[in-house]
């Protein structure tokens, strides 16, 4: 084996590099790595922060999976929310991007208008939508009543509460996701569309055979990201419903928060956090495996 050797100059450079990295590295160890390692340990303990931890092995995990009904409720709520929300977000943003990709007059104004709502933060958004969903005075039900349709109770009805929150995310389809799709759309070479024209294909053939395959890496990326974001849904439920009605919006992170900061069960909450990481990892690995079938990279490269 050839020994790797640095000359004097490179050595000096390396030392400088490491030195300049140190402030970040020390910060990462103290505020990132150390808490992470400790949370693995605490997840194996009973621990309420104010008192010493009591080691109980895998007791927390065992209790979560086999005894705690809220764990499964929160998982199914979160998965239903994810399954409903992710397609809506991806398809919505993609269609909007295709729409504002047309070179019509004033398209830049439209792009800006569609982007603006996504600047609003989650808390503000939740408070606004809380009023929109009000069954008596809310904008949506007032409009429905005007059309002669009796509106549902939205957030107050256990069957409608999750769809309501999914509906809220329509608000953000014009945001960063749309911009990335738009940039990718503009990167698709014109000659591919011309080829479809020559073959006599219409807009659908272009969309189906050129746009979608060319965008597939971006669609894949956003699907992975959005699923992770959706699994971590918290603010909407925390502000609007606190998990109700009938625990229908008791999402995973809300349950974790309640355990940690209302009941002070930090050990149990740590176990919840690690399980969520494992679930997210499994879902992401499955997606990467499935992606081989439908994601096309330029020139066949991986």
Partner 1 sequence: MKQIIKIVLGLAALTAMGLFLFLPDSKPPDDGKIRLRYWMVSALRELPFHVTEFNRTHQNIIVESTPLPWNEHEKKILTSILSENPPDVVFLVTPVAKWATRLALTPLDDFIKRDSFDSSIFFSALWDEMKSKDHIYALPLYSNSYAFFYNKRLFREAGLDPEKPPKTWDEVLQYSSKLTKKDAKGNFIQMGFIPTYGNIQTSIILAWELGAQMLLNDGTRVSLTNKPTLDAFNWIANFYNQYNLKDISTFVAGFGFAEQHGFISEKLGMMILDNSFPDQIKLYNKNLEYGVADIPTFEGHPPVSSTGSWWLAIPRGAKNIEAAWQFMKFAVQKNIQLTEAERQKELLFPANKLAANDPAFLSLNPANKIFVDMIEHSKTPTVIPLAHDVFWREYMGAQEKVIHKMQTPMEALSQAEKTIQMVLNETIDYDNYVRSKVSVN
The answer to the question of residue 6 lying near partner 1 (CB under 8 A) is: no
- Residue with smaller CB distance to partner 1, 11 or 208: 11
- Whole-angstrom CA distances from 187 to 12, 77, 101, 106, 181 are 42, 38, 11, 21, 10
d(CA 193, CA 172): 30
Q: Report how far residue 295's alpha carbon sits from residue 213's, in angstroms, rounded to the nearest whole number.
A: 7
User: In the bound complex, what is the minimum distance in angstroms from residue 60's beta carbon to partner 1?
Assistant: 10
Residues 30-69 that bind partner 1 (CB under 8 A): 46, 48-52, 54, 67, 69
What is the footprint of partner 1 within residues 106-135 (CB under 8 A)? 134-135
**Shortest spacing between CB 269 and partner 1, in angstroms:** 13
Q: How far is the CB of 128 from partner 1 (least distance, A)?
A: 15
Q: Are 259 and 268 in contact (CB under 8 A)?
A: yes
Distance CA 274, CA 36 (A): 10
Residue 262 CB, nearest approach to partner 1 (Å): 5
Cβ distance 266 to 42 under 8 Å?
yes
Alpha-carbon gap, residue 169 to 171, rounded angstroms: 5
Q: Which of residues 241-300 bind partner 1 (CB under 8 A)?
A: 244-247, 258, 261-264
Binding-site ranges for partner 1 (CB under 8 A) = 12, 15-16, 19, 22-23, 46, 48-52, 54, 67, 69, 134-137, 153, 156-158, 244-247, 258, 261-264
């Amino acid at each position: 084996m050839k020994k790797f050797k640095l000359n004097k100059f490179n050595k000096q450079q390396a030392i400088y590099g490491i030195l300049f990295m140190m402030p970040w590295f020390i910060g990462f160890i103290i505020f990132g790595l150390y808490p992470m390692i400790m949370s693995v340990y605490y997840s194996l303990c009973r621990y309420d922060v104010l008192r010493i931890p009591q080691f109980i092995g895998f007791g927390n995990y065992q209790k979560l999976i086999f005894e705690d009904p809220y764990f499964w409720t929160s998982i199914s709520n979160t998965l239903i929310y994810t399954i409903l929300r992710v397609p809506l977000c991806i398809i919505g943003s993609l269609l909007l991007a295709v729409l504002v990709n047309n070179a019509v007059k004033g398209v830049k104004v439209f792009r800006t208008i569609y982007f603006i709502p996504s600047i609003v933060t989650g808390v503000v958004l939740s408070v606004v939508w809380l009023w929109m969903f009000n069954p008596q005075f809310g904008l949506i039900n007032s409009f429905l009543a005007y059309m002669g349709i009796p509106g549902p109770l939205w957030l107050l009805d256990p069957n409608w509460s999750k769809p309501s929150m999914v509906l809220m995310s329509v608000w953000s389809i014009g945001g960063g996701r749309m911009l990335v799709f738009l940039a990718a759309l503009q990167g698709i070479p014109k000659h591919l569309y011309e080829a479809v024209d020559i073959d006599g294909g219409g807009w659908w053939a272009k969309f189906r055979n050129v746009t979608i395959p060319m965008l597939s890496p971006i669609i894949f990326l956003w699907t992975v990201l959005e699923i992770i974001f959706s699994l971590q849904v918290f603010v909407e439920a925390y502000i609007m419903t606190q998990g109700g009605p009938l625990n229908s919006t008791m999402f995973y992170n809300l349950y974790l928060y309640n355990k940690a900061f209302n009941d002070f069960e930090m050990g149990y909450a740590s176990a919840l956090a690690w399980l969520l990481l494992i679930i997210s990892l499994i879902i992401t690995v499955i997606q990467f495996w499935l992606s081989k079938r439908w994601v096309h990279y330029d020139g066949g490269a991986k």
